[in-house]
A and B are shown apart, each in its own frame.
Chain A
């Protein structure tokens, strides 16, 4: 009978709605990060770097880009005859089908997949976080503690602890209480959403909870149930870099962390590399008048203008005279001559014309979605086109092909939005 000691189940179905237009056509794990990567590359690479060669990826929200990115798992060496990567989408079962209604429910709907590998342990991961972690060491800890469930715990600063789901533990790391965003935290160990379960314990808990909650969730239902049943649950302390890129501001600043001369999160080590899919990996070119400083350039970038303090994805072109500052430009973006960008996040395939100014003006928060766009960053969705000679303020959102007609007096004031169907051709009126 075939057997894997531990397999991973990677929850990648979430929208990440606080990332606004960046997740309009893709799930949060498919959002690009650090130029050439996507968020899901981090847990996927951690898996193979930890010797976990069987990974089920649970998708639901906008899975197309994620599916294309993962393919058969070649970049992560997860193209295996036994194991490897398997995409697990919600599906019909005889006469009915269900969406994944919660994190635990998603795993419950794939019990047969897990059973087919006959594992001793199941590693539950989320596809939302940027970090490097060796899950094999976590498994050693799990075995050493003779634990039923081990939860990775991030030591967060005490003053921020009340923003997290916390775990209160005894000296031997055994968890005796969960607290969700408490006013007066008793511990600074935050639940990172990374779990190792003994498979029989998990299987039984999923089965039982499925009869109680139809939106079965690990944090809200399954873990508290197991704790009150007296299961042995331990917190595995993790003290290294970990970032939830959940908001526009945190996404921007996590990218900006990487351009520091000595970044806290080091991608340049020879071991534990982060792998990603790229159809080819050509070099980057900086032109005769280029100025590129404190910046990451990904494969195939061509810079003829100036780029400061920015992260550029693969195949981005910045033409002569253009000045890009404090910005994130994803794959295939084009920046025309003499255009100025300041604090802009441009999703893949944006085309920005000549003599355009984006990100200057008053810091007015976004009128339609003030909770999402309020830190001065202007965001362009995938495939956005900006015509020549217009200016766009701060906290704006532009999505889809736009034409001069969309900009009265050639200007989109701070806090305003233009949302077009990206698949429609721009129509001049």
Chain B
């Protein structure tokens, strides 16, 4: 694919509460062994993109950690590579990123030094699987300047949390409004954009010096009449990790066979950093039903409808249900964990009860108890 990739992973999401006090939203663990960014990153390399920039700012250490080597996504090559771009000091500029457009502007060298004709931009905290080649083919077919992927938002999701698009009968975008009070349609941008690399450079160089720092508001919405901006309908699975609820539901979605088949057994797969843990061990006496477990987990006791990450230990007589238990955590003997999200490396001591509700799962952050 003749494109470079940009993943916008700098954001901070207050609605994810304690889960993002120590990590970027894009680094949030999902589905027993993945991080959110594995999905757009794998989509890029699976689409044949060889050069990817990850723009990060908030709690970037967690992302640096996860992306410590490009080779797990086949990006360790001379002709391409994985570029992690964080804010930096220089003689003419010492600002944090003031918005998505500004973050690209401050790293414009990445785009200027590339030769690929197109650029694919994705947000870093969405769980989906997409072949960008198909979107690029659509972009060319439409003769578009910019193409924005969108989906029809189902009734059980709050459309006011998204960028809402209005399209004409040819799918050309007529309006775009970020998080509107009065949504005019049920079509929401999913944060995936394709355009010519040179066009992006020109536009960014125009708007940022004017003090306009946001891609959606200051570029796509503002230029919707001057440029041909088209919507590209995406009907596949897509989840944005923008609240504790969507995070919890997204994880539980992995208990469905078709979702696992989509991400894990249908080639090309979603890739992640390998941890080389041994197989998961289900000991005599364990009852583990409707659960996902990561490698290196050692399971005793009872678990139901839960997402258990790598290297989790569950002691004898423990009772886990409707829970997300992240890597390396230990659930002691006889513990009861229900409607809970247990962060990484947490030790729940013997006999402890951690019980939340469907509407308000208990979150046990790293290093507590």
Contact = CB atoms under 8 A, between A and B. Distances in A.
Nearest to A313: B279
Contact of B71 (A36, A74, A285): A74
Interface in A300-328: 300, 302, 311-312, 315
Interface stretch (A111-119, A131-139, A272-280, A387-395): A272-280
Interface in A255-279: 259, 261, 267-268, 273-276, 278-279
A286 B291 contact: yes
B63 interface: no
Contacts, number: 113
A299 B278 CA distance: 9
B344 to A, nearest CB: 15
Nearest to A74: B71
A299 B295 contact: yes
Given A268-B298, A280-B264, A292 B279 contact: no
A283 B284 contact: no
Contacts of A280: 264, 269-272
Nearest to B298: A268
A96 to B, nearest CB: 39
Contact of A274 (B276, B287, B298): B276
Nearest to A279: B269
B206 interface: no
A281 interface: yes
Given A282-B260, A290-B289, A268 B296 contact: yes
A103 B260 CA distance: 46
A293 B276 contact: no
A312 B279 CA distance: 9
B159 interface: no
A69 to B, nearest CB: 15
Contacts of B32: 282-283
A297 B278 CA distance: 9
Contacts of B263: 282
Interface in B254-275: 254-255, 257, 260, 263-265, 269-272, 274-275
Nearest to A41: B276
Nearest to B269: A280
Interface in A225-264: 259, 261
B201 interface: no
A290 B289 CA distance: 6
Nearest to B31: A283
A278 B137 CA distance: 32
Contact of B278 (A34, A278, A292): A34
Nearest to B305: A288
Interface in B284-319: 284-296, 298, 309-310
B24 to A, nearest CB: 22
A355 to B, nearest CB: 22
B269 A282 contact: yes
Interface in A44-89: 74-75, 79
B33 interface: yes
Interface residues of B, number: 40
A299 B309 CA distance: 12
Contact of A35 (B260, B279, B286, B310): B279
Contacts of A281: 33, 272, 274-275, 295
Contact of A296 (B33, B280, B285, B309): B280
Contact of B265 (A291, A312, A315): A315
A283 B293 CA distance: 5
A33 to B, nearest CB: 11
A169 interface: no
B245 interface: no
Contacts of B291: 285-286
Most buried by B among A75, A295, A299: A299
A297 B298 contact: no
A290 to B, nearest CB: 6
A276 B269 CA distance: 18
B223 interface: no
A298 interface: yes
A279 B271 CA distance: 8
A372 interface: no
Contact of A292 (B265, B275, B288, B310): B288
A288 B303 CA distance: 11
Interface string B41-78: 00000000000000000000000000000010000000
A302 B257 contact: yes
A286 B274 contact: no
B264 A286 contact: no
A284 interface: yes
B262 to A, nearest CB: 11
A295 B269 contact: no
A287 interface: yes
Contacts of A292: 282, 286, 288
A79 B70 CA distance: 14
A205 interface: no
B281 interface: yes
A326 to B, nearest CB: 13
B283 interface: yes
Contacts of B286: 292-293
A403 interface: no
16 contacts: A259-B281, A268-B278, A268-B296, A280-B270, A282-B33, A283-B254, A283-B309, A283-B310, A286-B288, A286-B289, A287-B290, A289-B289, A293-B285, A293-B286, A295-B281, A296-B280
Interface of B: 31-33, 71, 254-255, 257, 260, 263-265, 269-272, 274-276, 278-296, 298, 309-310
List 5 A-B pairs, minimum CB-CB distance, nearest first.
A283-B32, A282-B264, A267-B278, A296-B279, A35-B279
Given A36-B295, A299-B295, 15 more contacts: A75-B274, A278-B274, A280-B271, A282-B263, A283-B33, A283-B310, A284-B292, A286-B290, A286-B291, A292-B286, A294-B282, A294-B284, A298-B295, A300-B264, A315-B265
